[in-house]
Structure 1
């Protein structure tokens, strides 16, 4: 039985997108499903899995190191959200200013961290925050301050990691805000000027409302990205000292690929997935209520 030309034309587009779906199923959906299943087992990767039911989940919630990593991850996320968003908006306003010379060069410079390897960035800051010969301590010494053990002190180790996270996100998010600023209808500013609004009032009543969709988008990607932070604390401090900078993803890596407890690591991954989904849902609901 031959397929008519009309029916064949309906199926042709699906043949073009089929490879993308196959890649998604094999490399995304398949591993996710396997991770959910293996989270109910104890498995080292070498021996047969042993069914444990909800034991892994109970152990996760009673694991003190896990809660330390949750605390650190929340600090990374909240600092990124409440520091990066305002700073990137101010930077975008500066880059959008017609009085700024070399705007294209400045935009390229601030976007550079996004196309640079995070590991390379972290290695650079590792040298800057070095206790003995780092530029940060040398600068402090010139002003009479003592050298600080940035990477070896439990009270200070979070600072270098947070600095790298902010520096990495700032360029990308400022480009998003810059695109949003350039998409605002200039007639709105002209109308505000006619009504006697000063620059701050125009920013408050025109710029911010028009940037609301961009602000929501930026806050979502920053929150999701910061909750999955791994490279920065791994390179700078390896999660130390005494787990003071360890993130949830780092702890997942430690349990899964260092200690070969894949079932327990998968459970941590499921908890992280649910947390990210929950925060994203809260943000979406907040955006809906503000509209």
Structure 2
């Protein structure tokens, strides 16, 4: 195996290891199975509308868990992880059990997966999903002026791209469309992603990396952004959150980095699903629900 450095101080094998979150957590499949089972329970317990179309392709669908309290409620839009190439909105329906009882509308989003679509199209679809939510929030008891976004892993990347979006370029949307965000183990510098093993599937080009790396973009939202990661994650995953927070705060953003000791790339999600946990409390406080 080559020992040539291909990114910072990493040779190929070491870089691949940094970004292989599944290999680092042998029980990762059990966690996802648990999330899916708990999502089924959420559908049993809470009113919901599944597979609502927000675009023309079969992938452009979302699930809505309406607010159960009276009055316009804040809306949390969640984007799933899976390295942009796998997983499904159903895997994260379980988070509705945390946020709907707290007073929110909870929405989880599907989008086209790489390499069936490219990264530019994936991001376009996710922007379209948020625009759809703005136009339909009132139908589900939501307040279109209180839209928050969150996502895990690749979904965290989507959240940061949404915070770097000039919504004024879209018809009938306010400049400050998003009122807060939370990334969980997100990916914001796509240069090492393109250079590691996963790009055999993703097929990212240098040009796509430049257009879709939040680290290379300016934050265009003044809304607060939580950048969470687990203390047991790889150095590179932890760097991604810490560095974006530093870079964006220097440009006037309001980023809060939360590194949670004892959590890995998958268990960190449980810190969001437990309403009493620090990460869930931070998101609820951001939504003025704590």
Judge same fold: TM > 0.5, yes or no. Answer: no
- Higher helix content, 1 or 2: 1
- TM-score, normalised on structure 2? 0.25
- Higher strand content, 1 or 2: 2
Using CA pairs under 8 Å that are at least 6 residues apart, name the structure with larger relative contact order, 1 or 2. 1
User: Over alpha carbons, which structure has the higher Rg?
Assistant: 1
- TM-score, normalised on structure 1? 0.25
